Each structure stands twice: as C-alpha cells, then as structure tokens.
Structure 1
Amino acid sequence: MHLDKYLLVLSAVIICVSSSRFLNQEWSSWKTKYEKKYVTSYDEAFRRQAWEATWHKVQNHNQKYEKGLTKYRMEMNHFADMTTEERNSRNCISNRKKSTLKSNIPLKAHSKDFHLPPTVDWRESKCVTNVKNQGLCGSCWAFATVGVIETQNCIKSKQLVELSEQQFVDCDSTNDGCCGGIPAKALDYVTHYGVMKAKDYEYSEKQSACMFKNDDALKFNVSKFYVLLGEENMASSLALDGPITVGIDASEDFQLYKDGIFTGECTEQPTHAVIIVGYGTEYDKEEGAEIDYWIIKNSWGESWGEKGYAKMQRNVNLCGITSMAASVDFV
C-alpha cells in the first residue's frame, strides 16, 4: 500500500518536472521567434506568468476546435506575454467627437436591385498592398484609411502606390495620432490635403512634428466619403467600389486568432480599425449549414492570423463591425 502511494507521488513529480521542462523550452522558443527581451528578471518572471496563462487558454481553446466546438484556432503570437487586462485595454479608436460621427458624415445606401456576387476578394485585383505593422503606436485608424485609399487609387489608376500612414499620425489634427482616431474623419482629411508616398514620409511608430510637403502629395479626385449602415450595404459597397474601413472590438480572443472563421467573444464597442477586402461563405459540417464571413486585413504584421488576414463571421454584427463602416468615392 505504501509502495503504491510512493509510486503515485513519484509519477506526479515526474509529470510536473516534464511539464516544466516542456514549458521552459516553449518559452525559450517563443522568445526567440518574436525577439522578446526583458529589462529585468522581475519583468521576465511577470511576463512568463502571463505567457503561461495564455498558453493554457490557447491549448484549451484549440482542444475545443479539434472537437468541432469552435470555428477558429488560437495561437501563441506576439500578444501571448500580455495579461488579459492588458489585451482587453488595447484601444486605437479615439472617443474624441465620436458621438457626432454619423451626424456629420453622409450615409450611403446601395440599390436593393443589385445582386451581390457570392464571393468578393480584392486581393485578386493586385490592388491591395502587403500587410503592414502599426507596432506600439495606436495608429490602426491611419492604416485602415491608407489601405482603402491605396486600393481605391489602384482600381482607378491601375497603379499600386504605397502611401504614408505617418502623415496622418503627425498631421491629421482631427484625430489623435498614436492615441487613436476614426477612419471616417481621416478620409475627410484626404479630400483636403491628399497623401504623400510612404517612401517620402516613412512610418516611425510614434507621433512627431508634421513634415507634410504639399508639392509631394498625391491629390485624389474624391467626390465624397461616407458611412455605411448595415452589413448588406457594406457588402454592396465592397463588391461595387472596393475595400471599406470598419471598427471592431479587438477582444482578447481576436488578438490570439490564428485561422478559421472568428466567432469568438467580443463586445459591440469598437476598439480597433481594420479593412474589409472581401467576403464569402463556407459550409459548416458540424452545423450542417453555411456560415457567411468577412475577409479583413489587419495592421499587426504578417505573423498574426492568416498572414495578417482573418475571416470574421458575417451578418451577425460580430464585434460591432457595422458601427463605423466607411469608404470613399473616387471619380
């Protein structure tokens, strides 16, 4: 009897030691992959603890995915060493003057006679620039705005030109630089000033003095910018005119997204701006039904999600995706 207890305790110790060694190896590999370095041993210990909590969350979620209980996977990406509180507090949508957004900007509704194509993906047009990375600056609003302008300009001119997010961060006084902004207001800025090329006004991941040069700016023949109400209008605008900007709640689950169709937990309060570049429908074997999705382009680099992109469930206003949809008309 005593021998059985001894063997049970010994087995538990061996399992704990093996698990600890495995996590040590995983932690070391993860730090190398994402080039993570910490100033003090205390800071590293704190981040290691947060990382382990994330590791267990991701493992538990992905086990549900393997059983068909969820439609997307998570991964230990560059957000993995943040606490839940830190991930939930990330916000690059400015609240300044936000309440007046829809009263000051025109609305656009597309004709109900227009029949939506079953799928749209503007990446196939070769008019979508590579996925970019906003870094630590809360400039998602600038990246979303620039991404839409780049593609719209390419659709009209047949030339794909990378434009400057830094100009918006430094010079658009209607928004708040690295502290957040609203794409619809940035679209208004474009109509007045134009945008310099990225190579002439490079991104620095921080807000500095405005270095805008009018003579170097590309001017666009913009008839108007507008907001879109409802996912049907959003899909129509996307199919007819090109990518649109939207605000979403970039929740903790969304930040850890790897692939599949995101259907995770989030609120309807936008905290992050992204670009919708397409949509589609996928058959769900588990439910025996089709699920509609958006294709979004993010600004967290190609190491996040599906090489910087994600699929999000459509026609359910997931993460408040309808609340800040906007685009622009090029003549």
Structure 2
Amino acid sequence: MNLNRSLGIFATLLICTWASTFFDQEWDAWKAKYDKKYSSTKEEHLRRKTWEDTWHKVQKHNRRADRGLSKYWMAMNHFADITPGEVRRKSCLMTTGAEAANAPTYSFGLRQGLPDHVDWRESKCVTDAKSQGFCGSCWAFATVGVIESRLCIKNNKLMTLSEQQLVDCDYENGACCGGLPINALMYVTQNGIMKSEDYEYEEKQKTCEFKEDKAIQLNATKYYNLPDENSIMSAVALEGPVTVGFAADYDFMQYSHGIFDGECAKSANHAIIAVGYGTEKDEDGEEQPYWIVKNSWGEEWGENGFGKVKRGIDKCSISTFASSFDFLE
C-alpha cells in the first residue's frame, strides 16, 4: 500500500517536472518567435500565466475541432499572452457618430447569377495583410485595403496606400482611439490618398503631413453603407471588396484556419475587409458558406492575415458598418 502510494507521488512529481520543463521551453520559443519583451519580472510572470491558460484553451478547442465539433482551429499566435478582459476592452471601431458622413444606405439585394466563389486575391488585386500594431486604427486599414483593391480592379495596378494619412489627417475619426470606415471613405473621396512609401505607418498619431501633389484622387461618385449580407455578397461579387464591422472576441484573436464559428463580442468593435466568399463541404457532406476576410493583425494571424467566417447568419455582426464607394464612369 505504501509502495503504491509512493509510486503515485513519484509519478505525479515526474509529470509536474516534465510539464514545467515543457512549458519553460515552449514559452522561451514563443517569446523568441514573436520578439516578446516585458518591462519587469512581475509582468512576465503574469503574461506567462495568461499564455499557459491560452495554451490549454487552444489545445482543448483544437481537440474539439479535430472531432468535427467546431469548424475552425486556433493557434498560439502573437496574442497568446493577452487576457480575455484586455481583448474585450480593446475596440478600434467608433460605434457612435455613425451618421457623421451623412452617407446613404444602398440595398443591392441578392443579385441573380452571382458566382459561387469569389476571391479577389486571385486577381492579384489584394495587398498582403498588414498590421495595425498597438494603434486602434483598424478602420483606416479596412478603408485603405478596399481602396487599394478597387483601384486595382479599375486600373489593373495594385498600389500600397497610406493608413497613416488617415490616422493623422482624418479628423472625423479618432486616430488610434477608433473610427468608422464610412467617415474615412468620405475623407479620401474629398482629399485623395498618398502612397504608403510617401507617408509610412508609425502606429501612432502625428501632425498631419498630407501633400496634395502626391495624392491619388479616387474620382468617386459616392460612398455608401450596405445593410445586410445579401447586399455585401452582391457588392463583393460585382464590384470588389468592402469594409465590414466585426464583433471580435477572444476566440477570433487566436483563429488559425477553418471557418470561424466561435464566440463573438456583444457588438461590432473591429473593422475588417470582405475580399470574397465561397462554400466548402464539411465531414457530413453539407455545404458550409463562408466569407473570406482580410484582417489588420499581421501575417501571423490566421492564414497569412486572412481567414474565413461563417456566412449567412450575420456572424459576429459582420453586416454592421459595411461600406464602400463607386467610381465615376
């Protein structure tokens, strides 16, 4: 009896020692991969605890996904040391003052004869995913990404444009404290936009350094809101990518691949881009519709900065704050 008890204690100690060594090695490798540095030993200890909690959550979720109980998988990406509370307090979408741009709402409806699959990356008219960093400027990245794509679709030339100009110079929005893409579209249609190489992103607001002689003019007839997923689908298929709102919560931060069907925040707090849509069959042979989205959390998130989100159920309020613009003929 005492021998069995001693063996049990020894086995427990062995497992705990192995686990501690394993987590030490994984933690050091993760910090090196994402160049993580902390201001104090206390902060690192707290971040390590959060990181371990995330590790267990990711492993548990992915086991469920492997059994077909979820349509997406998670990863230990660069957000793994951020607490759920920090995620919920972080918003880069200004949800008040939505009427500031005085933009109309156009309902495209679900047009007949739309293709089953659209992905504007295939046309080479979508820039690589970028990173907004610690600045709450998702609204600027979503707006600029749509403009980059639609200019390319129109002119067959893909250019990388400046988010920093919007952060510094678009006073209808709140720089790193959040904004709305529809307001940013109003600003750009009235002022034009510079290339990124002429006005580089710095993750903070500075004095406006806009130079009109270096700005590209959109020659846009109007900017407008889209009210629902059918209108977004028609606009994406017929005209190009559009900005959409998203109620991003902790699950979305750790997204790796698959069709996201996880938990959402209570309301839209993030802006991303719908660059396409499609369907794929699940293990039961059922068609699963999805949006293809471009995020502004760097190429470390999702599939090189892109992902899929369940379509047709307004997942995470994706139809909220959807907007775009039209060119002059």
Interval of TM-score (by shorter of Structure 1 and Structure 2): over 0.9
8 Å CA contact retained: 2:248, 2:268:
yes
Residue in structure 1 matched with residue 218 of structure 2 by the alignment: 220
Q: Which runs of 5+ in 2 are unaligned?
A: none
Q: Judging changes above 3 Å, is the alpha-carbon distance between structure 1 residues 228 and 101 closer, same or farther for their aligned structure 2 residues?
A: farther
How many aligned positions are there? 328
* Aligned mates of 1:245, 1:179 — CA distance in 2: 18
The answer to whether structure 1 residue 119 and structure 2 residue 108 are counterparts is: no
* Aligned mates of 1:267, 1:69 — CA distance in 2: 21
Residue in structure 2 matched with residue 264 of structure 1 by the alignment: 262
The answer to whether structure 1 residue 140 and structure 2 residue 138 are counterparts is: yes
Q: CA deviation at 1:158?
A: 1.3
Q: Judging changes above 3 Å, is the alpha-carbon distance between structure 1 residues 111 and 46 closer, same or farther for their aligned structure 2 residues?
A: closer
8 Å CA contact retained: 2:100, 2:172:
no
* Aligned mates of 2:207, 2:315 — CA distance in 1: 37
Alignment of 1:96-245 (within 5 A): 96-98=96-98, 100=99, 104-110=102-108, 113-245=111-243
* Aligned mates of 2:118, 2:111 — CA distance in 1: 18
8 Å CA contact retained: 2:110, 2:230:
no
Secondary structure at the aligned position of 2:197 is classed as coil
Q: CA deviation at 1:110?
A: 2.2
Secondary structure at the aligned position of 1:282 is classed as strand
- Deviation string 1:125-167 (CA, Å, 9 cap, x unpaired) is 1111111111101010000000000111111111111111000
The answer to whether structure 1 residue 52 and structure 2 residue 47 are counterparts is: no
* Aligned mates of 1:75, 1:228 — CA distance in 2: 32
Q: Which runs of 5+ in 1 are unaligned?
A: none
Query: RMSD of the alignment, in Å?
Result: 1.2
Letter of the 1:44 counterpart: E
Percent of aligned positions with the same letter in both sequences?
A: 52
Q: Identify which of 250, 253, 259 aligns with 1:252.
A: 250
- Deviation string 1:276-331 (CA, Å, 9 cap, x unpaired) is 10000011114x42110000001111111011001000000000001111111112
Q: CA deviation at 1:109?
A: 2.2
Q: TM-score, normalised on structure 1?
A: 0.97
- Deviation string 1:81-127 (CA, Å, 9 cap, x unpaired) is 111111222210013413x369x311112265532210000001111
* Aligned mates of 1:239, 1:268 — CA distance in 2: 29
Residue in structure 2 matched with residue 309 of structure 1 by the alignment: 306
* Aligned mates of 2:109, 2:78 — CA distance in 1: 43
Letter of the 1:51 counterpart: W
Q: Judging changes above 3 Å, is the alpha-carbon distance between structure 1 residues 111 and 315 closer, same or farther for their aligned structure 2 residues?
A: closer
Secondary structure at the aligned position of 1:195 is classed as coil
